[in-house]
Structure 1
């Protein structure tokens, strides 16, 4: 018998409904300790692999609070994707399908000491895959540095030890894309921005402030900014997408157009999801091929 059973919904995607479920689950999970908890996939026929970053962070937090976690009833429709990205293996769920990594970015976590490991990981697991945007050595180096800055700033500003990531390649003809999600369960962007500005912004206002170039909540020699300026340039030319969730704010940027929605349940941390289109015909370089340049063509 379990103390609590958590049902994963039939469809869990990187949209407002999916993030709303994760926000509610993350908030409620903070109240649980020393319980036996069933994570039930019986009704789930679709889960986008990048969302395993969020679910995995939540589950590890539960384990740290002395809860016993049991993943149960993974359906055939979701088994392969959850096996391929390493999520099931991490949480000791038995499975018997072969593991192929071509359509996934592995479930991982990084801390401040993992810069080289993280950059090598994203180089091979993300940009080393077929169909990803092509770019010069200097441009790729700058993009990898920007991605690691997401990890660094999550750790330094959120006060957590690790940032989690996971991703998936969707290679269908409709909308071929690669999606990767980063998540931390620490201080929200709302809390950090309001502390810095001495204001009472809501989640959406705080995220939009943090996304503006030059805005940072750093003090002294702390790393600053979200590390997203260069990535936003790449996503604009690539026709990709950026999503950010923190507190009660959900912000999505497509073609530099910002749409916002307020979440019913606060997410107790920050989620950053990056979507890149596959098969992009462009070749990207920094505007002067100078590693310090922050523009991309």
Structure 2
């Protein structure tokens, strides 16, 4: 990962944590856990809260009609429910793109909605038994030996 992409990747991870803090309205806070699975070639990180959930925030504002569609809306482009001049969504966009290229996984369960991207495909559906909060799991494929950089980064070979 190039230095520029590494910075954007960690900005996306930071945005996940920030979203939990800003949006969850959970009096219990949030929990994070992660583990390296060297044999399986994966690093997994999960964030969980007991808050109001992604769907309620988005559906209240009329951006989606169902819990799983609300999660999909939140994961698209630079969509955000943040107000005023506080930007949002851009870090998640880069994180999602990297995970897609890396053949990793991104999974979200929030109240009545389920959303997962793996292998370049998105699976979203309602949950039969709603999850009481939000859980986001990021899986990075550590066996991927390709090199990644942002499209806007200048390569040394482009200059010399």
TM over 0.5: yes
Residue 163 (structure 1) shift: 2.9
Equivalent residue for 2:152, pick from 288, 292, 295: 288
Structure 2 portions without partners, runs of 5+: 155-160
Which of structures 1 and 2 has the larger relative contact order (alpha carbons within 8 angstroms, sep 6+)? 2
Local SS of the residue matching 2:145? coil
Work out the CA distance in 2 between the residues paired with 1:259 and 1:229: 17
1:59-105 Cα shifts (integer Å, max 9, x gaps):
xxxxxxxxxxxxxxxxxxxxxxxxxxxxxxxxxxxxxxxxxxxxxxx
CA drift at 1:230? 0.6
Superposition pairs for residues 28-107 of structure 1, below 5 Å?
none
Q: Is the 8 A contact 1:179 1:275 kept in 2?
A: yes
Matched with 1:211 is 75
Q: 1:141 to 1:264 in 2, by over 3 A?
A: same
More divergent stretch after superposition (150-159 vs 218-227): 218-227
Q: Which residue of the partner structure matches residue 123 of structure 1?
A: none
1:166 to 12, 15, 33: 33
| TM superposition shift of 1:153 | 1.2
Number of residue pairs aligned between Structure 1 and Structure 2: 153
Alignment of 1:5-16 (within 5 A): none
Gaps of 5+ in 1: 1-134, 291-297
Deviation for aligned residue 1:221 = 3.2
Change beyond 3 A, Cα 1:163–1:225: farther
2: CA distance, partners of 1:249 / 1:226:
22
Whose radius of gyration is greater, 1 or 2? 1
Instruction: Give SS of 1:164's match.
Output: strand
- Partner-residue secondary structure (3-state), 2:128: strand
Deviates more, 1:160-169 or 1:242-251: 160-169
Counterpart contact for 1:210–1:226, Cα < 8 Å = no
Q: Which of residues 100, 119, 131 in structure 2 aligns to 1:255?
A: 119
Matches within 5 A, 1:162-201: 162-172=29-39, 175-197=40-62, 201=65
Normalising by structure 1, we get a TM-score of 0.48
Match of 2:66 among 188, 202, 205: 202
Tell me the equivalent position of 1:272. 136
Note the aligned Cα RMSD (angstroms). 2.0
